[in-house]
Amino acid sequence: MEIRSPSGVVVGVDGSQHAATAAEWAAREAERRACSLHLVYAVETGTLTVPARSGAAVTDLLLRNAQELLDRSLAEVAVAHPRLRPTGDVVPKDPAAAVVTAAEHAELAVVGTRGHGGFASLLLGSVSLRVCAHAGCPVVVVRGGTGDGHQVLVSVREERDAEAVRFAAREAELAGLPLRVLHTWSPVVADVAHAAPMMDELGEESDLHRQLLRRTVDPVRAEYPGLDLEAEDFAGPTAATLVDASADAALVVMPRHAPAPRLGLRLSTASHAVLHHAHCPVAIVPV
């Protein structure tokens, strides 16, 4: 079956409460963006271990059940958001691959924290992590609250993260919220007891980080002149700072850098920590 690649917002659903919450968030986002909404329901039929004679019948039953659940989700979205005309597909494919493929030309992909296949003890399911790591567009994981906070947060590590700042600026503008840009860094001089002889060097290092933040943020500030934008840099752990700040946020935005050759991670350690522990939805933006 060919998977459609719509250009608006794509959301993965599976009949779970986590997916329903993600679909509601995605519907509101599609309304804000004035774009289409497409639901993807994936069914892994290739992993069935049944006799060949009954395999086709079981596959057909799984697909029919999936279509019924998808139709129910589409109806719920249509009732709650009458201005939208949501579409959907049942896809006989691995869920993460199905969402990544469907979102190939999308503005945004949305997933829940975990679906029916996840363990209750897990903070984030493998499907959500894989979509975040491999999607070609920004991905929002709807976790914690529904994002009724008072600001949008975005993390900046280096100048190429300007693309994540632009995404966050648009989200803040659409939501009518201020944007807070955070650049955290670890000083070379970590031992305060021995730092006195190197305070000049520490001051110079701090100046370099302020300059980096200014170069990254100023072009975006010029693109969004009416946006309330605050940029801060300070020495401290990125993940802990963002998780703490997320308690008052509607959305946390993290950049995703291209992996290093061979064993490079697709998602940074900080991104993993924020995805697992943030108090609000988290967006992962490829830069």
Tell me: the pLDDT tens digits for 37-96?
A: 999 999 887 655 555 555 577 778 888 999 999 999 999 999 999 999 999 999 998 999
Give me the sheet containing 179-185, strands edge to edge: 87-91, 37-42, 9-13, 108-112, 139-142, 282-286, 251-256, 152-155, 179-185, 229-235
DSSP, res 105:
T
Per the CB < 8 A criterion, the answer to whether 13 and 20 are in contact is yes
Decide: helix, strand or coil at residue 181.
strand
Q: What is the pLDDT of residue 118?
A: 47
Two tokens, residue 250: 């509607």
Domains parsed from the chain with CATH numbers: 9-142 (3.40.50.620), 152-286 (3.40.50.620)
Rounded Cα–Cα distance for residues 10 and 102 (Å): 7
State the chain's mean pLDDT as an integer: 87
Q: What is the pLDDT of residue 78?
A: 97
Q: What is the pLDDT of residue 234?
A: 85
Rounded Cα–Cα distance for residues 1 and 49 (Å): 21
* 9-26 per-residue burial string, b: 16 or more CB within 10 A, e: under 16: bbbbbbbbebbbbbbbbb
Dump pLDDT digits (tens) for 206-250.
889 999 999 999 999 999 999 999 999 988 899 999 999 999 999
CB atoms within 10 A of CB 105: 13
Rounded to 5°, the CA angle 274-276-281 comes to 70
Nearest to 239 by CA among 114, 163, 153, 133: 153
Per the CB < 8 A criterion, the answer to whether 179 and 151 are in contact is yes
